[in-house]
A and B are shown apart, each in its own frame.
Chain A
C-alpha cells in the first residue's frame, strides 16, 4: 500500500475541485441573491397575504381570467372580505405594481418564467410594444 498517500492527496484535490463553487461563493460572498423587487405602490398590503401571493398569484390570475371571460363576473372578494372593483391583470395588478419590469419581470427572469400574457395584455406606458 505504498500508494496510499498519493491516493489520499488525489482524493483531497478532487473533493476540493468538486466543491470549489461552494467555497468560492461562501468565501467570496457572491452567492445568488434574491432579486430586488420594487413593489411600486404606497399601499402596504397585496390583495391577499404576501406569502400566498408569492406562491399562488398565477393560480389567482387563472381564476380571474375564467371568472371574467367565461362567467361574466367583475368583482373580486379577497379572503379578508375586501372587495376589489375589477379582476384585471393590467387594471388591478399593474395599478399597484406600477413598475412591471422591476417587479414581475425581475422575479420571473430570476425564476426563469416567461408569461406570454403581455402579447395581448397591455403594460401602461409600453403600448404597442
Chain B
C-alpha cells in the first residue's frame, strides 16, 4: 500500500501546480521579463548606444553618402538582382518606414520622401529571441549584433525582424564587392548579415561610418545613459519618432521629423 492516498496526492499535485513548482506558470510565460522588456528596459543604465537621424536635414537631399561609407568599410556587396540585395543601411520611403505614422492627406511630397533606415538595435530584439544558435545576440551596451561564426543560415531572424533589417547571402558576396577592405571580413554564402552599429569602429574609438560620412550632419550618435551625450542633446525638446513603436521592440534609432 502507498503511504500517500490518491486524494492526498491529487491535493499536493494541485497545490504544486498552483505555486508553479516544476515548471513556468502561465503568468511567467506571458508576463515574464522577456515580454515586458520593451517597457522595463527603457530605463537605460550604463552605456546604451543610440542614433538620432534628423530627417529635416536629410530628406531634402538625394544623397547616399552614408550608405556608400557603411557598405565600403564593411565589405557589403552590391548585387543588381533584387532578390540577392544585401543592405546594412538604405533609404526607404516615409510611408514604408513609418507605416503607422502616415495618412492619406499627408501628400506624396511627404510620404514618398526617403529616409535612411538601418537595424534599430532594439531594447527587446525579436531576432535575438528566435535565433537558435545564439549567433544574434545583444551586447551589454545595447548593440544587437551577429556572431557570423555561429550563423547556420536558418533565416528565422530575417522573418523575426519587423524592420526588414536583415539580408541573407544567397550567393558568394565576394563576387559583388568592388574593392575588398582586408581590415573587415566579408561574409560567405549561407549566412545572414546586418548593421553592427559599427561595433568594430567603436572599439577603435571611431564614430559610426554613416555618421562620419554625412555631409549634412543629419546623424548623431552616442550613449543614451550619459546625460551629456550628443544623442541626449539631440533628443531633448524635439519631437522624435521611432519605427513601428507599437510593436514594443524599443528601437534605439530615433528620427526627428
Chain A residues positioned under 8 Å from B188 (CB to CB): 119-120
Query: At the interface, yes or no: B185 with Cβ under 8 Å from chain A?
Result: yes
Which residues of B (161-215) have their CB < 8 Å from a CB of A? 174-175, 177, 179-183, 185-189, 199, 202-204
Which residues of A (78-118) have their CB < 8 Å from a CB of B? 89-91
Query: At the interface, yes or no: A72 with Cβ under 8 Å from chain B?
Result: yes
The one of A69, A74, A89 in contact with B147, judged by C-beta atoms closer than 8 angstroms, is A69
The one of B137, B183, B203 in contact with A74, judged by C-beta atoms closer than 8 angstroms, is B203
Chain A, interface residues (CB within 8 Å), range: 10 to 19
Chain B residues positioned under 8 Å from A69 (CB to CB): 145, 147-149
A120 adjacent to B141 (CB under 8 Å): no
A128 adjacent to B139 (CB under 8 Å): no
**Whole-angstrom distance between the alpha carbons of A123 and B202 in the complex?**
24
B182 adjacent to A120 (CB under 8 Å): no
The one of B182, B187, B203 in contact with A72, judged by C-beta atoms closer than 8 angstroms, is B203
B182 adjacent to A122 (CB under 8 Å): yes
**Whole-angstrom distance between the alpha carbons of A121 and B182 in the complex?**
8
B147 CB to closest chain A CB (Å) equals: 5
List 4 extra interface pairs beyond A69-B147, A90-B185, A119-B189, CB under 8 A: A65-B149, A70-B137, A72-B139, A128-B174
A-B contact count (CB 8 A): 45
Looking at chain B's contact residues, the main secondary structure is loop
Q: Interface readout for A63-74 with B: 1 if CB under 8 Å, 0 if not?
A: 001001110111
Chain A residues positioned under 8 Å from B204 (CB to CB): 74
A120 adjacent to B147 (CB under 8 Å): no
B199 adjacent to A72 (CB under 8 Å): yes
Q: Interface readout for A44-76 with B: 1 if CB under 8 Å, 0 if not?
A: 000000000000000000000100111011100
A3 CB to closest chain B CB (Å) equals: 65
A11 CB to closest chain B CB (Å) equals: 56
Q: Interface readout for B140-151 with A: 1 if CB under 8 Å, 0 if not?
A: 010001011100
The one of B137, B147, B182, B199 in contact with A127, judged by C-beta atoms closer than 8 angstroms, is B182
The one of A74, A89, A120, A124 in contact with B186, judged by C-beta atoms closer than 8 angstroms, is A120
